[in-house]
Amino acid sequence: MRNKRDVYLDDRPWEEALAGFLEHLTAKGSLSPGAAEEISVEQALGRVTAEPIFAINSSPHYNASAMDGIAVDSALTFGASDASPKRIQLGEKAQVVDTGDPIPAGCDAVIMIEDVHFVEDEIFEITSAAAPWQHVRAIGEDVIATEMILPANHRIRPMDIGGILAGGVTRVKVHPKPKVALLPTGTELVQPGVDLKPGDIVEYNTRVFGALVESWGGEALRWPITVDNWEKLKDSLLQAVEQADIVVINAGSSAGREDFTAELIRELGTVLTHGAAIKPGKPVILGEIMGKPVIGVPGYPVSAYLTMELFVRPVVYQKLGSVPPQPQTTEAIISRKMPSPMGVEEFIRVKMGQVGEKIIATPISRGAGVIMSLVRADGILRIPRLSEGFRAGETVKVELMRPLEEVRQTTVVIGSHDMALDILANHLRRRFPEASLSSANVGSLGGLSAIKRGECHLAGTHLLDEDTGDYNISYIQRLLGDRPVVLLNLVYRQQGLMVAKGNPLKIKGLEDLAREGMRFINRQRGAGTRILLDYRLKQLGINPDNIYGYNREEYTHMAVAAAVASGAADAGLGILAAANALDLDFVPVVEERYDLCIPGEYWDTPYIQRLLEVIATKEFRQQVEALGGYDLRDCGKVMYRQGV
């Protein structure tokens, strides 16, 4: 067993590490584009010019009529007026032309067809004179031979193709696409689609990298998986250095047992940086072997994605003679406190939505292993190295991961989780392609608090009033005072205990939770399910202290189900749909009501009205019912309203 636990990681600001890296590579000549490729203009979309493109011919290459009409010698028309119209006979100095036709010799102007009146077959009348050169597109009006159409290092757009062809150029010299070798390494990696054993990790990072490289204008060369073996990794690396312009090694960049990437790069070349002051992505390696940039990218998918963006993207763009475009940004109000350690630049994925006049940003999982945090993110919030984070309500700058216009069209729902919301999100997008639904799961009370703070368009809530047996209304009155709201039912649903398939512990109800050896998994404080549990436990006279795992909290039904499915817990309270999804048994405990609480000011906006339209469709209802455990008898019905 190699022991490299004492590997020391640098802690450099990433800009400094990148600048040093680029400087080193520039000195080695590694960032110059390769020899230019000559390609057909029609293939050139998105490619980058290797040299300026000069026009070979002018366009138009002759004096052309700019109108349908009659080309004339303007001298013939002088003196024509309403008072004294002039008659002209078609002939050498008055010829019918269409747009684009050459101006005949002897003519120097065009009269629009609308302005002539034929009095005989060959004789027309005009009531105003033609100025010399009127309605004539002079030679070179668009492009003049020898003029520069595009400079070097220009990424070719659709209109550029027109300009180039107008200038008579049909083949162009472009920079070759930088070849980026992507080396997945790790004995634990398996290819997508195989049956998974515990400990297997699906190798998808290099697929994501490949798509990134392609979108930047590079060419991705995906290598086979290399196991954690010094000689094999060395062979792969040397091969990659030989065949590619840039080499990315995925994983093997932290300080773990089999992480010898940095040592290997050092043996074959130079390590410039191992470790940057970023989170996630800290253990990145920036190195160089035989003049080729070699980047060690950490294994966790979010770390990997961010280090690709920070360190590989600028190298690819430099090899194309250009700089990466700046991200679009927006100002947003951060909805929760977001502390961050000093000395590290942190990259937080956020969901966003426009609520009233403000764009609200809500942080999502910080886990570097959660690729879905990137899939779900609307933007990335950077917490600077010398900051300790942000206070709730602070205005921050967010880099957009989808267009601001889309963010603005997003209905933001915060509160309790229900799978019907996923189905709603999907049908919403089908029916209204411009719209989307963004949901943050913080429990029912959290949702009502979010309404109070003006952070969402609606909240999903299923809060039982222990005195009246009714749902939500007393909580709304207590938490939101007389603020105008509409409470709309979405579903009734079964809550019950999710237990392992076959119910091996023979759990019959909540009474069994206090049994010796039983391991429970709970929902977080404030969640409607948690309140329901506490209410029932009290009724049954069960002391929560006697339930092992009562304090272990998960934030969604599915997370609870997953804990049971994995054997980490024996039972958890949740909905049938979640149990079904993970093939668990389900012991019904109660039917409960799940409502949507909508502030009055949003009721008449598209954010809500689009949802109402979708909720009313047969397709939505059928798909929810098919999940099982749902009753839609009051779906879309207003259960309560105040001040609206």
By the rule CB under 8 A, 438 interacts with a copy of itself: no
Task: Pick one of 106, 291, 356, 369: the residue that binds a copy of itself (CB under 8 A).
Answer: 369
The reply on whether position 210 binds a copy of itself by CB under 8 A is yes
| Window 247-286: residues binding a copy of itself (CB under 8 A) | 254-258
CA distance 568 to 128: 93
Contact segment (CB under 8 A) with a copy of itself among 16-24, 331-339, 363-371, 481-489 equals 363-371
Nearest C-alpha neighbor of 349 from the set 420, 279, 421, 246: 279
Q: Is residue 36 close enough to count as binding a copy of itself by CB under 8 A?
A: no
Q: Tell me the closest approach of the beta carbon of residue 104 to a copy of itself, in angstroms.
A: 10
Residue of 90, 268, 371, 505 that binds a copy of itself (CB under 8 A): 371
Which residue in the set 134, 307, 436, 472 belongs to the binding site for a copy of itself (CB under 8 A)? 436
How many other C-beta atoms are found inside a 10 Å radius of the C-beta of residue 211?
11
Residues 512-541 touching a copy of itself, rule: CB under 8 A, are: none
Residue 341 touches a copy of itself, criterion: CB under 8 A:
no
Which of residues 39 and 196 has its CB atom nearest to a copy of itself in the complex? 196
Region 551-580 residues binding a copy of itself, contact defined as CB under 8 A: 552, 558-559, 561-563, 565-566, 568
Site for a copy of itself in 404-433 (CB under 8 A): 405-406, 422, 425-426, 429-430, 433
Sites for a copy of itself among residues 107-146 (CB under 8 A): 108, 113, 132-133, 137-146
Distance CA 564, CA 572 (A): 7
Is residue 89 part of the contact set for a copy of itself (CB under 8 A)?
no
- Strands 389-390, 338-339: parallel, antiparallel or unpaired by DSSP? antiparallel
Which of 374, 367, 364 minimizes the C-alpha distance to 440? 364
Helices (H), 308-387: 313-319, 372-376
458-497: contacts with a copy of itself (CB under 8 A): none
Can you tell me which of 90, 165, 238, 644 binds a copy of itself, judged by CB under 8 A? 165
Give the strand order in the sheet containing 123-126. Answer: 86-89, 123-126, 117-118
Round to whole Å and give the CA distance between 225 and 185. 5
Spatial distance between the Cα atoms of 399 and 408, rounded to a whole number of angstroms? 15
Tell me whether residue 194 is exposed, middle or buried, using C-beta atoms within 10 angstroms of its C-beta: 0 to 12, 13 to 18, 19 or more.
exposed
Give the span between the Cα atoms of 63 and 522, in whole angstroms. 82
DSSP single-letter state for residue 437 = E
- Token representation of residue 373: 């945090």
Alpha carbons 260 and 9: distance in angstroms, whole number: 13
Q: Give the C-alpha distances (Å, rounded to integers) separating 25 from 133, 217, 564.
A: 57, 20, 52
Under the criterion CB under 8 A, does residue 5 sit at the interface with a copy of itself? yes
Which of 66, 338, 383, 533 forms a contact with a copy of itself (CB under 8 A)? 66
* Residue 230 in contact with a copy of itself, rule: CB under 8 A: no
Q: Whole-number minimum distance, CB 632 to a copy of itself, in Å?
A: 19
Q: How far is the CB of 321 from a copy of itself (least distance, A)?
A: 6
Contact pick of 34, 325, 481, 643 for a copy of itself (by CB under 8 A): 325
201 binds a copy of itself (CB under 8 A): yes
- Rounded to whole angstroms, what are the CA distances from 403 to 213, 361, 376, 396? 21, 14, 14, 17
Contact of 322 with 155, CB cutoff 8 Å: yes
- For the bound state, the minimum distance from the C-beta of residue 641 to a copy of itself, rounded and expressed in Å, comes to 30
Structure-block tokens of residue 3: 């022991």
- Decide if residue 403 touches a copy of itself (CB under 8 A): yes
Q: CB nearer to a copy of itself: give 240 or 380.
A: 380
* Residue placing its CB nearer to a copy of itself in the complex, 232 or 430: 430
Q: How far is the CB of 432 from a copy of itself (least distance, A)?
A: 9
CB 523 within 8 A of CB 497: no
Q: Is 544 in the site for a copy of itself (CB under 8 A)?
A: no
Minimum distance of a copy of itself from residue 639's CB (angstroms): 27
Cβ closer to a copy of itself: 83 or 159?
Answer: 159
Give the Å distances, CA to CA, from 56 to 5, 154, 175, 432, 606: 64, 19, 21, 49, 54
Spell out the residues 6+ positions from residue 465 whose beta carbon is closer than 8 angstroms to its own: 471, 472, 473, 474, 475
Size of the site for a copy of itself (CB under 8 A): 118
Supply the minimum distance, in Å, between the C-beta of residue 289 and a copy of itself: 25
199 binds a copy of itself (CB under 8 A): yes
